Structures are given as structure tokens and as C-alpha cells.
Chains A and B, each alone.
Chain A
Amino acid sequence: DAGVIQSPRHEVTEMGQEVTLRCKPISGHDYLFWYRQTMMRGLELLIYFNNNVPIDDSGMPEDRFSAKMPNASFSTLKIQPSEPRDSAVYFCASRTGTNYEQYFGPGTRLTVT
């Protein structure tokens, strides 16, 4: 069974450019989470969706960040414009509605120069 799929695995971009990260959750999972991990701040929850609806986006750092989930099998996290301080590893995770166990994708390592 395929796990959570994320793309791209690595992204290097220049400050000011738009960045789009993609995630496909595990089939049948109706919760999807976006996290950011840095050495300084650890693993931070940015936003999560339930049945494609954003439930809590209080972790989104600022208006430059936006996330969508147009259907049950696809979500995007967009940063526009990107800044060097956005450099981090971004993880997507998913879980079912009845079990709190979250399963993580491989992550996208973002570098903004």
C-alpha cells in the first residue's frame, strides 16, 4: 500500500519566487496535515484538513502561505513570495477519522536563496 507521497523532494528557489509543494495522502485517510521542521523550532503544525476542509490554519506563519485541498487525494502548500527564512523541510501527514496515528510523507526540503 502506498504511503503519503510528496513532491518535489527538493526545491531550491530564489527569494521572491512562488513555491508549490504537493501531497497525496494515503487512500482512505480523511485528515491531512502540513508540518514544517527546522533545527531551531522543531516540528510545527501549519494547517490541517478534514474531509478536504481546512479546520485549523493557526500555524500558518503569515499571508504568504496558503494551502488547498481540492479533493481527497491531493493537497498543495503554496508560498508566495518565498523568503530565505522559509527554508525548512515541509512534511505532509495523514490519518483516518477514527485513529489518531499520523503517517508522514518523505518531506520536501526547501531552500530559498
Chain B
Amino acid sequence: GAVVSQHPSRVICKSGTSVKIECRSLDFQATTMFWYRQFPKQSLMLMATSNEGSKATYEQGVEKDKFLINHASLTLSTLTVTSAHPEDSSFYICSALDRGLINYGYTFGSGTRLTVV
């Protein structure tokens, strides 16, 4: 089945630095990927929709200058948390859309635990 690889699984960074998270679709081409954020014991909140070759679409309230998304190829989307602060600490999960006729659906990465100290 469809596999999405997300790296790193955990990262600790100092306040003010930037962190890049990668999301790769391993066995299908994903023209559309999504980034979610999950706070402890809470649900997933959609942050942005990433379309290959175009600018990402951000949900209301998500700072596009803080959460930079790049989707330069059909198998890779990256999320860069810029000038990270402790309140950015969270669990970030990506999802890739498989538009195949048989496998149409959303496959999720295993998530990245970001801790900003």
C-alpha cells in the first residue's frame, strides 16, 4: 500500500532557530500533500495544503511566514518552522493524497515531535 515517510521523527531545537521537516511519498506521486498539527491529547488541525509546483494554501490563523512549505517535486514536501519558539512545540504530521483510481485516499506520515527549548 501507499507509504509516506516523514523525517525527523523527533527534533529538539533552540528558540530562534529554524527546523525543516520532510515528507516523502515512497511509492506514489502526490501532487497534493497536507500538513497537520496536533497538541497533546487533542485532535489534528489542518495547517496547510501543499500543491506541487505552486504556493501552499494556509488555513486561517496559520502564519505563512513562520511555517514555510515547499512542494518542489511530486514526492517531497517540506515544512520549515522558522524562528521557532516554545509555543511551536507540537506534533506535526504530514499526509499525502494518492489520487490513484484504486487507492484514492490520504496516507499519513509517522509524525515529527518538535520541542523548542
A binds B: no
Residues of A within 8 A of B (CB): none
